[in-house]
Amino acid sequence: MSSQSLVDRRRFMAYCSTLGLSGTLFPGALYAEAQRATDAPINDDDEEGPITVEIIEKAEKIAGLSFNEMERDMMVQDLNERLQGFEAVRELQIPNEVPPALTFDPRIGGATPLPDNGPIEWEPPSVSRPDSDVDLAFLPVTKLSALLRQGDVTATELTELYLRRLKRYDGKLKAVITLTEERAREQAARADEELANDEWRGPLHGIPWGAKDLLAVEGYPTTWGATPYKDQVIDHTAAAVRKLDEAGAILVAKLSLGALAWGDVWFDDRTNNPWNLDQGASGSSAGSGAAVSAGLVGFALGTETLGSIVSPASRNGVTGFRPSFGMVSRDGAMALSWTMDKVGPMARSAADCALVFDVIRGYDTADPATVEAGFSFDSSPDISGMRIGYLKDSFDAEYGNEQADAETLSVLRELGAELEPVAWPDDLPSGPLVGTLWTEGAAAFDDLTLSRGIDDMVRQTQDAWPHVFRTARFMPAVEFIQINRARTLLMRRVHEIMRDFDVVVTPSFVGGTLQITNLTGHPCVCIPNAFHPVENNNGNGARRSPGSITFVGRLYRDGAPLALAHAYQEQTDFHERRPPLQ
């Protein structure tokens, strides 16, 4: 090691300790003072270790940096010692559920939550029972709840109906990982007894539902859709599942997800779109989207980090709601990105999503990112008082669903909306900021990468986690912090834009909305607004490709986009259409 660049480490550390400082090699004036005070001889016999000057020089290119020879000489011993520190931390084998000491808070952008005034007020309407079980299976939660409370159907009857349908159609859809039959039947019997005694827990009492299989349920496998975890059983039940249990909802199945929440390919198969079985259901909440679409559950829970509710809701022609970040506890859910993961409902309508969200929302000490915040939902179709913006440049583009989206804007105008053009910031690139997801995901599954467990996952392509986790290991820590500082700037800019509107209407996949609003934590509702014919070779003209549109709300004002989506659905029937699979 160069005699011009490195003092004897032991004597330098001893001097630092007299100052009450750690033994880290400090830069600048402190380093010079320590060198003079110790008058330390140079140790030319130190071995460099696994990291050498030549390795540092090559590694600089990965980070886009350049140092000189003297600077590299000084780095060698520090980096070798730091490598030992990395190895010490890795030996801890930190479980996936342990969050980092840093908690993401979208309020840094300027938003403030509303006070929580308790559950929304909702009374089930008067409904007649349909003639067929198929029609019954496709009813929205709002009508199923009414039938249950009226006594025109029992929870046990609904549970057995959905279990039959899950078994009948899953051979084609591959949407189920585990049926929870025993648990479901016990819950249904309890719900029927309570309802018979006029003990109504609320609008979800007796409604069968499905959970994306990254939500832990005690006594059942929680596979995360990935081969390394296909036999995993977690001795815990996720907070959202517990809240639905308390509301009297009945869990009938744990539904598929793309491995570790990416795509629609899991360890056993690909989940298929009920509208077109030649096509995957998209992901990662693939099973939730497919099961709701095919009438196999009353509703489902999904999660979104970067489109995992919006994309399968769009692909399968259902309504998906991604709440404001921090509104729903992630306790008991697989962690992928502590600063971007969100739990939300997928259902047949926006009103259904509002009812489910109202149950699962709330502060939870087990999830430090949750907030105390209120929620209100106006089910009246009057939207004339809403301030509504739309991404004009995005709607003017050619993207495949532009005609249906233009017609949606016309419906909103007919309802009394005065749409104002708006644009997201174009000087803050959102793409690079998604690096925070790749890095957090790599940290969440660091043990899987180090053990080579990722080699057992089905997908081994560039657009899959194994490759991304490996690549993310080369994200410099300084760049990670800078990305998150830039994210703060983005949150502030989007907050400035959104405070002038209750809702911004946008194409689901045009204009950067999906990336931007997932980074800022804003809520959105994705609803079907088209079913395009699909050319196929088997003569099945019923196949369709659903199209969707998205309503984005202000942070912690989740009721507004749901109310606008509900008003639109009151005037249209896209959310009521059924896939050819029946």
Q: Is residue 335 part of a domain?
A: yes
| Percent of residues in the chain assigned helix, strand, coil, to nearest 5 | 40, 15, 45
Q: Is residue 134 part of a domain?
A: yes
| Short-list 515, 512, 520, 513, CA closest to 496 | 520
In terms of C-beta distances under 8 Å and separation of at least 24 residues, what long-range contacts does 138-141 make, across chains too? 138/295, 138/348, 138/576, 138/578, 139/348, 140/347, 140/348, 140/349, 140/351, 140/352, 141/203, 141/204, 141/207, 141/298, 141/299, 141/347, 141/348, 141/349, 141/351, 141/352, 141/355, 141/356
| Short-list 429, 430, 441, CA closest to 519 | 430
Q: Is residue 28 part of a domain?
A: no
Q: For the domain that residue 239 is a member of, what is the CATH number?
A: 3.90.1300.10
Residue whose structure tokens are 């520190």: 85
Residue among 282, 293, 308, 349 flagged as catalytic: 308
Q: pLDDT at position 360, please?
A: 98
Phi, psi (5° rounding) for residue 322? -105, 110
Q: pLDDT at position 23, please?
A: 40
Q: Round to whole Å and give the CA distance between 582 and 580.
A: 6
Q: Is residue 32 part of a domain?
A: no
Q: Is residue 199 part of a domain?
A: yes
Query: Could you list the residue range(s) of the whole structural domain that residue 420 is in?
Result: 106-365+375-429+460-576
Alpha-carbon separation of residue 575 from 76, 322, 565 (angstroms)? 62, 17, 11
Q: pLDDT at position 39, please?
A: 43
Reported as a single tens digit per residue, the pLDDT across 285-303 is: 999 999 999 999 999 999 9
Q: Is residue 74 part of a domain?
A: no
Low-confidence ranges of the chain (pLDDT < 50): 1-46
Residue among 284, 285, 430, 545 flagged as catalytic: 284
Question: Does 212 qualify as catalytic in the annotation?
Answer: yes
How many structural domains comprise the chain? 1
Q: pLDDT at position 301, please?
A: 99
Question: Does 282 qualify as catalytic in the annotation?
Answer: no
> DSSP state, 556?
T
Q: Is residue 64 part of a domain?
A: no
The residue type of 197 is N
Beta strands in 453-498 (DSSP E): none
Q: pLDDT at position 3, please?
A: 35
Q: Which helix (H) or strand (E) holds 186?
A: helix 181-196
Q: Is residue 409 part of a domain?
A: yes
Give this prediction's pTM.
Answer: 0.90
Reduced 3-state DSSP string for 36-63: HHHCCCCCCCCCCCCCCHHHHHHHHHHH
Q: pLDDT at position 542, please?
A: 76
Number of H helices, E strands in the chain: 21, 13
Question: Does 379 qualify as catalytic in the annotation?
Answer: no
**In the structure encoding, which two tokens stand for residue 346, read together?**
């997928």
